[in-house]
Amino acid sequence: GTTTLAFKFQHGVIVAVDSRASAGSYIGESTLMSAASKLLSNMMYQYRGMGLSMGSMICGWDKKGPGLYYVDENGTRLSGNMFSTGSGNTYAYGVMDSGHRYDLSIEEAYDLGRRAIVHATHRDSYSGGVVNRVSIVAQGLAHRVL
């Protein structure tokens, strides 16, 4: 269950997630996004074919600017501008595909993340609760709950 999304825009990365399921949070020491995603990919590759189910996003800001990577249970690692995982991801993608553009303002980006998660929670019975949004910009993190 649950729906998680992230996308890059001119000011950084927006991450949005519903609150139906949660596994906590961890913010570690500053590292390159590519290195962090490769580490997770290597760990997951060792367990491929063992029936695990995972779709994870590594999001942040490093010396290269905003970073966004997707890693799955087989160790597949993709860099991109927009990803969504979880049972409501197809609904979230529909909203993001129609509303995402790189030059969004911070408020427009927050609103797009909110609308995409809300749409997913209305269409997917395994997603729901409040919408948590985080912006990751050069100045740091900001968290909002709807």
Q: Would you name the residues annotated as active-site residues?
A: 2
Structure tokens at 129: 């609760």
CA nearest neighbour of 146 among 136, 121, 126: 121
Q: Which helix (H) or strand (E) holds 114?
A: helix 106-123
What is the three-class DSSP state of 112?
helix
Which residue do the tokens 């509303």 mark? 99
Structure tokens at 134: 């985080």
Cα dihedral 67, 70, 76, 80 in deg (nearest 10): -60
**Which bin fits 28, alpha (ψ -120 to 50), beta or left (φ > 0)?**
beta
Phi, psi of 96 (to 5 degrees): -65, -40
